[in-house]
Every structure is written in structure tokens, then in C-alpha cells.
Amino acid sequence: MQIFPFIVVAWILAVGLYGIVTSRHLVHLIICLAVVQSSTYVLLLGVGYKAGAAAPFFSDIPRSTPAVDPVVQALALTDVVVEAAVSALLLALAVQAHKRFGTLDPEDLRQLQG
Amino acid sequence: MTPGVRRGVFLAGMAAVLAFFLWGLVGLPGFGHYPGPYGDVLNAIGIRQTHATDIVSAVNFDYRAMDTLGEEFILFAAATGMGVVLRHLREERERSAVDEARDRTDPGTSEAVRVAAITFTGPTVVVGWYIVSHGQVSPGGGFQGGVILATAFAMIYLAGEFLALKRISPVPLADAVEAVGAASFAIIGISALGVGAAFLANVLPLGHMPGEVDSAGTIALISFFVGIEVTAAFVVVASEFLEQTLIVRRH
């Protein structure tokens, strides 16, 4: 099936967004954001895949071996680093939100804000 | 907006998004039919130009080094930002991690966890160091190896107490190391200007043989400093969170 990996991308994106919209806990919400972002990894690696090709590492295979796109793999690496940074920062904000309001439920947070 | 209404609005919107997404899929080349050409070009000339047999590292630390510099500063800014967000607020003080309940004693670390963590600390450092230093040859590089190296510090935390970790890697020291790693990347880029090349151009000798550890010029050097920066950044992030467990609010 030629478009199956891209359907997986859509599915991961959709369940992640659903989790964010219906979340009742900030840590859960941040994990859902990580799920949304992981859909982009699948998309990037799926776009660069070439049927029957090797990974773009030529230390132990002949130089002329067909290999998949290294650019999208480098982009996926960037993506992972940014996600780690964003998650860390958001979790820190969640810690402070819990200290200030005593709850991590987004519904209650909104009511406290007035 | 009640949760039920919000869910309904979301499902309607998501259905529309998915419809457009599937419509877009029809026009794609299909999985496994990579249209090129950038990846193919890089795979063909990357080894000759950079002497790196890991083309992903060549892309990260040479062809797209400018973007990676920005990416590294995102990590740097996030680690620094955490320090700002998790600063000690008024009426917060720090105390050692003793159990808050009076009728129980602090359980301490189990011997099994302690032995396992101590056993794996050394090998973790070796693996992390290997991944950092061989990024130009085989899969890996500064980002991946840096995270593994930071795991070694987490092991030290598991083997002892947080206060022991704080003695080995105090946050100010980790902050300084992080800054050195991030600044070195930029300095390597600027020093290329000094010899008349473009910013972040690969100006160092490329080594005799692609696939050897001393090959690939600035790719290996940048990967090394990125490894240092990532290790320190993750140690800072973990320490900031662990420090929160020591904080007691005065009421």
C-alpha cells in the first residue's frame, strides 16, 4: 500500500490533537503534544524513503549503494531536539502552575483565572 | 464551552483537516518512490566533499550547519528558560529530601538499584563518548551521544542521592559547560571567516581516508562540542526538576 505510512501520520496527528483538546491534566497535555510532534518524524522519514535503499551511512557498504534521503533524517533529528526542549520548558511551566493554583486540570486553571 | 461541545467542534474540524490531508496524499509520489534530487546528490558527493561516511552528520554539521547552530541555541535557550521558570519563588526554601510524614522513615535507595546504576554508569559513559566521537563515521553524533552521556549523570543520581549529584555536577558548572559547548560551535563558524571562507565552512584538513575517526574536519569538531552542550543541557534540565523536589513552601 503506497500511502499507508502517510495515513499513519494523519492518525498520529489526529489522536494527539484529540488528546490535547480533551485533556484534563497538563502533563497529559504535554505528552499529547509530543505525540503530535512524533507524527512529523514519520512524515519526514516516509517522504525520504526509497524502496530497497540502504541507510545513508557508507562506512561499511559500497559508496554506490542507493541510499535514502539524508536531509529528512537530519531534519527529524532537529525535530527530536526541539521537541525535547519544548517538553522540558512546558513541564517546568506545569510545575509552576501546580505550585500557584494547586491543580493541573486545564478546566480549573481557566476558572481560577476568571 | 463544555467539554462535550469542544469535542464536537474538534471532531468536525479534524474531519475537514483529514479530508484535505487525504486529498493531498493523492498527489504525493507514494511511499518508497523518493523524488529527489537533494538526497541523491548529497549521497553521491557527500563523502568526496566532506570525508564523512555518515551523510546525516555531514548534512547536520556541514551542509546545514547554520540550521543546526540555531537548533542548538533552541536547546540552550530552553535549558536557560527552565532555570528562569523554576527559580525559587518567595516563601520557598530548600531542604534535604527527608520524608515529610513523621511516622515513617526515609526509605533510602535500594541496594539493587544502587548496584545496577553503578555497574552501568561506566559503560554508559563509554557508549556515549563513542557515539559523540564517531558521528562523522557511523550513525550518531553530538546530539545522540550527548543524551546518552547525560544518562550517566541520571545513573549517578539513582545510585546515590540528589545531593551527591549536585556535588559532582553543580548547576552553575553545568551551565558554564553548556555555554562553552554552544559558544564553541559559533566560534568554529566565525573562525572560518578568518581564513577567508564562508561562515561555518569546513576549513580544517579533511583527513586521509573517509571513514576514519580523524577525518571530516569541522564536522567531527562541531559534533564534539554539540555533544558537550547537549550533555550539559540535559543535566541542567534534570537538575532543575530534581531541585523542585527539595523545595518546601512555607505556610
Distance, CA of B214 to CA of B47 (rounded, Å)? 14
Higher pLDDT pick, B30 / A29: A29
Q: What is the pLDDT of residue A12?
A: 93
Q: What is the pLDDT of residue A35?
A: 95
For chain B, how many helices (H) and strands (E)?
Answer: 9, 2
Q: Nearest to residue B226, comparing CAs of B76, B121, B56, B54?
A: B76
Q: Is A54 on the interface with B (CB under 8 A)?
A: no
Task: Give the best-scoring range by mean pLDDT among A27-36, A48-57, A96-105, B112-121.
Answer: A27-36
Mean pLDDT of chain B: 82
**Rounded average pLDDT over B134-163:** 84
Kindly tell me if the per-residue pLDDT of B2 is higher than 70: yes
Q: What is the pLDDT of residue B153?
A: 85
pLDDT band at B251 (very low <50, low <70, confident <90, very high): very low
Mean pLDDT of chain A: 86
Q: What is the pLDDT of residue A31?
A: 94
**Rounded average pLDDT over A66-91:** 89
Residues 52-81 of B with CB under 8 A from A: 53-56, 58-60, 64, 67-68, 71-72, 74-75, 77-79, 81
Q: Is B21 on the interface with A (CB under 8 A)?
A: yes
Query: Can you give the C-alpha Rg of chain A in angstroms?
Result: 19
DSSP one-letter code for A61: S
Task: Kindly report the CATH class assigned to A4-113.
Answer: mainly alpha
Q: Is A14 on the interface with B (CB under 8 A)?
A: yes
Each residue's pLDDT tens digit, A82-100: 998 999 999 988 888 888 7
**C-alpha distances in Å from residue B91, one per residue of B1, B94, B163, B248, B249:** 36, 10, 22, 9, 6
**Rounded average pLDDT over A19-36:** 91
∠ CA B84-B90-B91, nearest 5°, is 135
ipTM greater than 0.85, yes or no?
no
Distance, CA of A1 to CA of A8 (rounded, Å)? 12
Kindly tell me if the per-residue pLDDT of B75 is higher than 70: yes
pLDDT band at B165 (very low <50, low <70, confident <90, very high): low
Task: Give the best-scoring range by mean pLDDT among A62-66, B56-60, B167-171.
Answer: B56-60
**Closest residue, chain B, to A43 (C-alpha):** B31
C-beta separation of A34 from A83 below 8 A: yes
**Rounded average pLDDT over B195-206:** 79
**Rounded average pLDDT over A28-32:** 93
Of the given ranges (A93-107, B78-92, B179-193), which has the lowest mean pLDDT? B78-92
**Rounded average pLDDT over B73-78:** 90
Residues facing residue B248 across a β-bridge:
B93
C-beta separation of B46 from B40 below 8 A: no
Q: Is A106 on the interface with B (CB under 8 A)?
A: no
**N- to C-terminal Cα distance for chain A?**
51
Q: What is the pLDDT of residue A101?
A: 80
